[in-house]
C-alpha cells in the first residue's frame, strides 16, 4: 500500500500526531488544483493515506519490518519536531532509513515545541539526522512549518505542510482556505440572522462585518508573513533578494497605517517579526533610514505586546531584540548618544529577562551580548577603560559558562573572542604585556576548538586570524622569532582555506595578510619585500572592489600601498612613490570624510608622512612641512580629557621629528619605552639641544634633521 507520507514522532507528542493525521486525511484539495501538476505529480482530490506507528518499537533498537516497509512505501516523511523527538533514537532511525532510499528532499518538518535554532539537547527540536553544517561549520537550520503560537501558528503551519506534500505554493492554499472560511462563516451568520429579532439585525451585521474584516486581515497577513519569511529565505538562497523590495515596501506602508492598540496579540507578533526581517535586509543594503523605520515599527509592536503581558519572557526577549537593532542602526549612523541609550536599554532588558528564568540559558547569554555591545561602542569613542570594564563583565560570564559546559565549542569560541577584544583594549592603552597575555588566551581557545574539530573551516579561520593579531603585539614587543612562528602557522591555514574555496573573500583577505607579514619579515631585502607587498596589494584591491564599504579591507590595502610607496622612496624613485600615494588617497580620502575612525586616522597620518617625504625628495621642503603638519594635527586631535591612544605614538614621534619639534616627542617616546615597545623600523635618533633649536633660514621655523629622515614604519 502506498502512503502519502509516514508520520514520524516521539510518543511524547502523540496528541499532536493524532491531530495532524486526522487533519491530513480529512483535507480536501481545492477543486481548482485537482488534476493539475504539482512538483510531485498529478494532484488528486485528497491527500490519501498516511502511516503513523501506534506501538513502541522493540527494545532491540532495530526498526521493525512493518516500519521499514511503511517507510519504503511512503512518498514523504513528515517529522513532528520537538525536544522529545530530537532525543528519540527511533525518530532518528526513521529519518536515516527514509533518507537511505535517496529521498532526503522529501522530509518535511512540523515544529510543535522547542527552539529550531538551538542544538542544545534540552531545547533543540531537530534530531541529529536533520542537523547539517555548511562549509564554515555553521549549523544549517532545516526549513520547517512552525506550529508554535508565536511562530506560524497551528493553522498556517498545517497549510504550509500540505503545500509541501502537494508540491504547490503556500499562497495557493492560503487564499483558497480563506475563501472556505468566509463561506462557512457567512453560512453561520445567515442561519443566525434568520433566528434573530429585527432589533438585533443591524448589530449582528456589524459584528459579522467586523469579524470578517479581522479574518481577512489575518489571512492577508498570513500570506504576507510567508512572503516576508519563507519566501525571503528562498530568494536569499538564490541571490534574488531584490525581488522582495516591492513586497517589503508595501508591507511597511501597510503596517504603518495600523494602530498597535487595535491589533490582536498574534497580529502584533507576526508584524513585529516581519518588520524586523525587513529592517535587517535594509541594513544589509546600507539603507539606514529605512532600516531604522522598520525597526522602530517593530519596537512599537513588541512594546505593546510586552505591556499586555509584562511577565511573559518571550515578549520581553522580542522587545530586547528590537532595542538592540535600533541601537545598532544608530551606531552605524554615527549617532553614538542614541546608540548608547538604546544599547543600555537592551542590556537592562537582558538582565531582567535572565532573572525571569535562570534555567533558560539562551536568555542568560543575552546579558553577555549586552555588555559586548556597550564595550564596542565605548571603544569606538576612545573610552578604552570603560570598554575594557564592560568586556571584563562579559568575560566573567563566559568563563563560568565554559566551566559548566566544557564541551560547548560555541561557548569556548565566545570566551576566546572576548579575550581577543580584551587584548585589543589593553593594546590601545599601551599595556603590551597584558595585551599579549589576553591574545594568547584567545589563541589557546581557538586552538582547543580546532583540535576538537580539525576539519571545521570556521575554527581554522578564527585560529589564523587570532595568530595574526598576536603577531601584531609580539612585533611591538620585539619578539620577532615568535612572530615568524605564528605567521608561518597562520599562512599555512590561509593557503589551505583558499585552496578549499578560492572565491571566499574573507579567506583571500587572510592570505593577503600573510603576504603583508612576509613583506615585513623580509626586511631589509627590498626586492623580496616588494614581491610580497605586490601580492598582498592585489588581493586587498580585489577584496575592496568586491565589498567597497569594508573598512577592515581598506585599512589593510592602505597599509600595503604605504609599504610600496616607502620602498620606492628608499630607492629614490619619487615618481613611483607618488603613483602609489595617489592611488591610496583615491580610496582613503572619501572613506575618511564619510566615516572617520581611529584605524583610518592612523593609516591616513602615515600616508601624509609619506607624502611629506616624497615632497622632500623632490626638493620642496615647504610642501613637505605642510604635509607633516597635517599628519601632526590628525594625530594630536583628542577629545577633552582623553589620553592619547597608544597606537598614535609611533607615527606621532616620527612626525614631530620631521617637524623638528623634538622636545614635544619626548613624553611620547617615554610612554613607548615604558610599555616595552620595540619599533620594527628604528625611531629617529634623539637630537642635541643645538640641533633641536636650529631654524630654517629666514622663517623662524624649526629645521628638519640634516640627514635623510628615518623611514616611516610598515
Q: Is the CA virtual torsion 54, 56, 61, 62 positive or negative?
A: negative
Asked whether residue 185 carries a pLDDT value surpassing 60, the answer given is no
Query: What is residue 653's predicted lDDT score, i.e. its pLDDT?
Result: 94
Give the C-alpha distances (Å, rounded to integers) separating 529 from 11, 181, 493, 513, 682: 67, 75, 22, 13, 17
- 470 preceded by a cis bond (ω within 30 of 0): no
Tell me the CATH class for 5-168: alpha beta
Confidence of residue 316 (pLDDT cuts 50, 70, 90): very high
Asked whether residue 319 carries a pLDDT value surpassing 70, the answer given is yes
Confidence of residue 407 (pLDDT cuts 50, 70, 90): very high
Give the C-alpha distances (Å, rounded to integers) separating 324 from 277, 318, 329, 381: 14, 10, 9, 19
- Interhelix angle 265-284/245-256, rounded to 10 degrees, is 140
Element (H or E) spanning 79, and its range?
strand 77-81
Task: Give the residue range(s) of CATH 1.25.40.10 domains in the chain.
Answer: 240-381
Q: Report, as an integer, the average pLDDT of 606-624.
A: 95
Residue 639 class from Cβ within 10 Å (0-12 exposed, 13-18 middle, 19+ buried)? exposed
- Give the CA-trace dihedral at 250, 256, 261, 263, to 10 degrees: 0
Cβ partners under 8 Å of residue 363, min gap 6? 313, 317, 350, 353, 354, 356, 357
Per-residue pLDDT reduced to its tens digit, 415-426 = 999 999 999 999
- Chain centroid to Cα 128, Å, comes to 25
* Closest by Cα among 410, 411, 377 to 395: 411
- Give the CA-trace dihedral at 614, 620, 622, 627, to 10 degrees: -10
Task: Give the residue range(s) of CATH 3.40.50 domains in the chain.
Answer: 5-168
For 241-271, the DSSP string reads GGGGHHHHHHHHHHHHTS-GGGS-HHHHHHH
| Whether domain 240-381 has CATH 3.10.290.10 | no
Question: Mean pLDDT over all residues of the chain?
Answer: 82
What is d(CA 683, CA 657) in angstroms, rounded to the nearest whole number? 9
Find the radius of gyration of the CA atoms of the chain: 32
Asked whether residue 321 carries a pLDDT value surpassing 80, the answer given is yes
- Chain centroid to Cα 198, Å, comes to 62
Q: Which residue has the cell 609619506?
A: 610
Q: Is the Cβ–Cβ distance between 633 and 625 less than 8 Å?
A: no
SS (H, E, C) 518-540: HHHHCCCCHHHHHHHHHHHHHHH
Which overall architecture, per CATH, does domain 559-693 show?
Answer: Alpha Horseshoe (1.25)
- Chain centroid to Cα 327, Å, comes to 15
Query: What is residue 256's predicted lDDT score, i.e. its pLDDT?
Result: 54
Please give the residue that has the higher pLDDT: either 474 or 88.
474
For 470-524, the DSSP string reads HHHHHHHTT-HHHHHHHHHHHHHHHHHHHHH-TT-HHHHHHHHHHHHHHHHHTTT
Give, in degrees to the nearest 5, the angle at Cα 277 between 339 and 341: 15
Per-residue pLDDT reduced to its tens digit, 220-258 = 454 444 444 444 444 444 444 455 455 555 555 555 555
For strand 5-8 and strand 50-52, is the pairing parallel, antiparallel, or unpaired? parallel
Specify which residues 108 forms β-bridges with. Answer: 78
Per-residue pLDDT reduced to its tens digit, 468-494 = 999 999 999 999 999 999 999 999 999
Amino acid at each position: 500500500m502506498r502512503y502519502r507520507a509516514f508520520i514520524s514522532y516521539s510518543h511524547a507528542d502523540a496528541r499532536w500526531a493524532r491531530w495532524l493525521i486526522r487533519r491530513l486525511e480529512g483535507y480536501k484539495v481545492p477543486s481548482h488544483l485537482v488534476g493539475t501538476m504539482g512538483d510531485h505529480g498529478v494532484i488528486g482530490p485528497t491527500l490519501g493515506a498516511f502511516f503513523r506507528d501506534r506501538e513502541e518499537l522493540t527494545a532491540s533498537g532495530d526498526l521493525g519490518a512493518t516500519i521499514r516497509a511503511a517507510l519504503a512505501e511512503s512518498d514523504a516523511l513528515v517529522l513532528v519536531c520537538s525536544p522529545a523527538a530530537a532525543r528519540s533514537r527511533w525518530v532518528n532511525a526513521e529519518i536515516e532509513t527514509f533518507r537511505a532510499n535517496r529521498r532526503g528532499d522529501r522530509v518535511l518538518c512540523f515544529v510543535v515545541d522547542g527552539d529550531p535554532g538551538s542544538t542544545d539537547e534540552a531545547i533543540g527540536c531537530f534530531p541529529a539526522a536533520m542537523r547539517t553544517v555548511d562549509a564554515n561549520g555553521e549549523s544549517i537550520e532545516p526549513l520547517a512549518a512552525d506550529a508554535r503560537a508565536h511562530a506560524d501558528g497551528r493553522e498556517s503551519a498545517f497549510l504550509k505542510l500540505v503545500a509541501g506534500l502537494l508540491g504547490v505554493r503556500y499562497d495557493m492554499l492560503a487564499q483558497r482556505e480563506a475563501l472556505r472560511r468566509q463561506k462557512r462563516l457567512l453560512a453561520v451568520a445567515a442561519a443566525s440572522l434568520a433566528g434573530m429579532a429585527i432589533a438585533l439585525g443591524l448589530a449582528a451585521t456589524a459584528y459579522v462585518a467586523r469579524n470578517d474584516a479581522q479574518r481577512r486581515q489575518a489571512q492577508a497577513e498570513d500570506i504576507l508573513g510567508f512572503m516576508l519569511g519563507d519566501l525571503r529565505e528562498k530568494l536569499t538562497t538564490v541571490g534574488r533578494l531584490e525581488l522582495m523590495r516591492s513586497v517589503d515596501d508595501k508591507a511597511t506602508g501597510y503596517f504603518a497605517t495600523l494602530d498597535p492598540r487595535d491589533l490582536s496579540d498574534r497580529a502584533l507578533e507576526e508584524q513585529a517579526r516581519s518588520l524586523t526581517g525587513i529592517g535587517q535586509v535594509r541594513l544589509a543594503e546600507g539603507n539606514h533610514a529605512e532600516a531604522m523605520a522598520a525597526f522602530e515599527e517593530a519596537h512599537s509592536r513588541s512594546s505593546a505586546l510586552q505591556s499586555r503581558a509584562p511577565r511573559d519572557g518571550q515578549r520581553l526577549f522580542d522587545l530586547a531584540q528590537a532595542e538592540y537593532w535600533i541601537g545598532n542602526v544608530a551606531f552605524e549612523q554615527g549617532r553614538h548618544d542614541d546608540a548608547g541609550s538604546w544599547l543600555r536599554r537592551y542590556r537592562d532588558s537582558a538582565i531582567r529577562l535572565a532573572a525571569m528564568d535562570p534555567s533558560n540559558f539562551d536568555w542568560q547569554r543575552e546579558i553577555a551580548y549586552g555588555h559586548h555591545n556597550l564595550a564596542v561602542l565605548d571603544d569606538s569613542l576612545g573610552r578604552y577603560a570603560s570598554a575594557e570594564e564592560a568586556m571584563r563583565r562579559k568575560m566573567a560570564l563566559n568563563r563560568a559558562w565554559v566551566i559548566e559546559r566544557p564541551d560547548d565549542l560555541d561557548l569556548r569560541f565566545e570566551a576566546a573572542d572576548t579575550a581577543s577584544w580584551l587584548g585589543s583594549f589593553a593594546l590601545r592603552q599601551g599595556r603590551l604585556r597584558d595585551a599579549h597575555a589576553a591574545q594568547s588566551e584567545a589563541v589557546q581557545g581557538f586552538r582547543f576548538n580546532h583540535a576538537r574539530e580539525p576539519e571545521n573551516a570556521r575554527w581554522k579561520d578564527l585560529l589564523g586570524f587570532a595568530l595574526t593579531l598576536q603577531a601584531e603585539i609580539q612585533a611591538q614587543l620585539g619578539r620577532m622569532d615568535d612572530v615568524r612562528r605564528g605567521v608561518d602557522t597562520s599562512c599555512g591555514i590561509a593557503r589551505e582555506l583558499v585552496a578549499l574555496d578560492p572565491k571566499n573573500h574573507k579567506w583571500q583577505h587572510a592570505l593577503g595578510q600573510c603576504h603583508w607579514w612576509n613583506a615585513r619579515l623580509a626586511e631589509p631585502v627590498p626586492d623580496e619585500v616588494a614581491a610580497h607587498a605586490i601580492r598582498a596589494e592585489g588581493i586587498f584591491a580585489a577584496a575592496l572592489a568586491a565589498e567597497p564599504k569594508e573598512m577592515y579591507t581598506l585599512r589593510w590595502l592602505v597599509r600595503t600601498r604605504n609599504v610600496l610607496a616607502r620602498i620606492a622612496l628608499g630607492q629614490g624613485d619619487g615618481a613611483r612613490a607618488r603613483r602609489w600615494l595617489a592611488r591610496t588617497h583615491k580610496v582613503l580620502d572619501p572613506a575618511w570624510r564619510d566615516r572617520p575612525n581611529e584605524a583610518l586616522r592612523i593609516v591616513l597620518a602615515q600616508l601624509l608622512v609619506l607624502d611629506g617625504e616624497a615632497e622632500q625628495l623632490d626638493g620642496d621642503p615647504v610642501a613637505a612641512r605642510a604635509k607633516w603638519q597635517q599628519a601632526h594635527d590628525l594625530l594630536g586631535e583628542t577629545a577633552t580629557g582623553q589620553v592619547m591612544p597608544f597606537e598614535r605614538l609611533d607615527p606621532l614621534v616620527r612626525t614631530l621629528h620631521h617637524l623638528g619639534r623634538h622636545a614635544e616627542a619626548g613624553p611620547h617616546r617615554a610612554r613607548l619605552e615604558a610599555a616595552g615597545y620595540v619599533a620594527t623600523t628604528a625611531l629617529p635618533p634623539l637630537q642635541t639641544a643645538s640641533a633641536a633649536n636650529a631654524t630654517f633660514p629666514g622663517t623662524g621655523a624649526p629645521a628638519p634633521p640634516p640627514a635623510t629622515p628615518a623611514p616611516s614604519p610598515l
